[in-house]
Structure formats: structure tokens, C-alpha cells
Amino acid sequence: MSQISAKTIREDIARARAYAKKNEYLRTLECLANALKNLVTSPIFGAEKFEIHAHLDEAMRDLNKMPMIQKLFPNGLTYQKGKEKAFYGKLIRLHKKLGEAMEKARVAKLRKRLGVLDDNLIKAEKLVKSDNQLEARKLYRKISEYFQDIEGIDSDIGNRLANFGMFPEAVEYLVKAIQVQQNDIRAHNALILCYEGMEETDKAINAIKECMRYVGSSENLYLRLAKLHLKKREWGEVFNNASAAVDRNPLNVEAKKLLKQAEPRVFAASSASPKQTSKKKTHDLNF
């Protein structure tokens, strides 16, 4: 095992001081603990050790200036030269307890924040149901902006708007959600529903293809594609997608009907021979 150099210890102390200035408690304690552990286990003597102790004194002053440390230790944390091992253990215990306390506080804060989110979502829903869509849209936008750190927030808002039949309003949130998480199946399905509801056939077709690309194909998606191509009278696509749906579920009655509807048109078109036009020969009777 390679021995730790004085340079490595000084670097740990420097990192600890940098983290202390940013009030990053756990990283500060971790770097200081590493420095002390390496100081105890490494054969460093003389001027180098003296220099390291000087840096440690400065780091301890930075540590004791941190607000939470001042609250927990009004008289400050101190260590004695020669007792680095004991102080290392103290820092490790403090790191663990502080980490647990910070995690508990984080969870409590998150729960409170999620409660505020739920209250606002309920309020927005009531606005929609009371036919006050303008105010509902404003509130949903504020929710999206304020709770961007909540995973899937735009997908959730988009799905809610889609369920309310507010398709154009939902599209913006769903597109954003898919950009963030391309395999968000709820966002994909809701976006397809919106384009179908808006009768944006080409956009709905593209949305289904994007869904297939990122999430995978399914019986339902093939059936929806077949229906959309039916609107455009694209019989070849109707046939192909209905066939794919039936392949996945031979009992799919709706897909079979589409297949039956498209089949004669597809095969009639393919079996029809192109018209031949022959050029009449003309005879020049002029001698």
C-alpha cells in the first residue's frame, strides 16, 4: 500500500476550507477527517508536519465559523496535537449524526413542499371545473415554474390538462416532459391523445412513432396508427399497422375490421396492371 504524502494531506485540508466557505458541512468534515486519518497513519515529520498542523489550525477556524457548528458547539471544536486519532473519531461521528439530521430535515422539507404542491394542484383542478380555465392555466404555469425540481411535474400537469380536455394547453407541458425524460410513457400517451383530440393527424402519427422509438411498439399504438392513417385514406399504412396489431393480439376485433376494410383496396391497387398506351403508326403517303 502506497504511503500518503504531505501534499495529499495539505490538499484535503485545502478542500475542507473551500467547502467550509460554501457551508457544505458534510464535505468539510469528510475532508478534515481524511486529512487527520492520513496524518496519523503516514510517517510525516519535521517541517512538513509543522506546516500541516498550521493548515489544520486554519481549517478548524473555518469549521468553527460555520453556523451549524457554532450552534452545536458554542465554544468551538478543538483538537490537541498528538490526539489526532481521537479527534478523527469525533469528526466521523459528527459527520454521521449531522448527515442523518440533514437527511431528516430534507425529507421533512420535501414533504411540506409536496403538500403545498398538492394543495395548488387541487386548487387548479377546482378552477378548471368551475369553468375558470384562464386562472387555471396561470396557476399551472406557476406550479411548473416553482416545482421544476420535482421529477415528472410537467408530465403530471400535461396529463391533468389532457384529462380535462384542454389539449392545446397540455401539449406544451408534455413536449417539455418528453424532452427531459424520453421514456415517459404517460407523457407520450397523453401527447398522442392531445393531437388526436385536436385532429392534428400528422402530429399524432409522429407522436406515436416517437413513442415507439423511445418506449417500444405495442398493439394499442399500432391500432391507433392504423386509425389515423384511415383518416388520410392511406390504405397501405392502415393494412400494415392493423396487421401488426393483429399479430400481437389475434383477438383484436377492431384491428381485424380495419384489416378487412383495407385489404381489398391494397390488393386491388397492387394487382391492377398499368394502362399501356400504344403510339399509332402513321404512314406518309406523299411520294
Grid cell in block for residue 15: 478542500
Q: Please answer whether residues 190 and 152 qualify as being in contact, where contact means their C-beta atoms are separated by less than 8 angstroms.
A: no
If one compares 2 and 145, the residue with the highest pLDDT of the two is 145
Residue 2 clears pLDDT 60, i.e. is over it: no
pLDDT tens per residue across span 33-76:
999 999 888 888 888 888 998 999 999 999 999 999 999 999 99
Residue 141: exposed, middle, or buried by beta-carbon count in 10 A (0-12, 13-18, 19+)? middle
3-state secondary structure 189-250: HHHHHHHHHCCCHHHHHHHHHHHHHHCCCCHHHHHHHHHHHHHCCCHHHHHHHHHHHHHHCC
Q: How high is the pLDDT of residue 84?
A: 85
Band (pLDDT 50/70/90 cuts) for residue 14 is very high
Q: How high is the pLDDT of residue 42?
A: 84
Q: How high is the pLDDT of residue 19?
A: 96
Residue 272 clears pLDDT 70, i.e. is over it: no
If one compares 100 and 45, the residue with the highest pLDDT of the two is 100
Distance between CA atoms of 147 and 276, rounded to whole angstroms?
68
What value does the mean pLDDT take over residues 9-28?
95
Nearest of 75, 73, 27, 36 to residue 56 by alpha carbon: 36
What value does the mean pLDDT take over residues 86-90?
92
Residue 277 clears pLDDT 50, i.e. is over it: no
Residue 268 clears pLDDT 80, i.e. is over it: no
Q: How high is the pLDDT of residue 23?
A: 93
Q: How high is the pLDDT of residue 69?
A: 92
Q: How high is the pLDDT of residue 79?
A: 80
Residue 276 clears pLDDT 50, i.e. is over it: no
Distance between CA atoms of 162 and 172, rounded to whole angstroms?
11
Between vectors from CA 193 to CA 259 and to CA 245, what angle results, nearest 5°?
A: 25
pLDDT tens per residue across span 192-213:
999 999 999 999 999 999 999 9
pLDDT tens per residue across span 118-135:
999 999 999 999 999 999
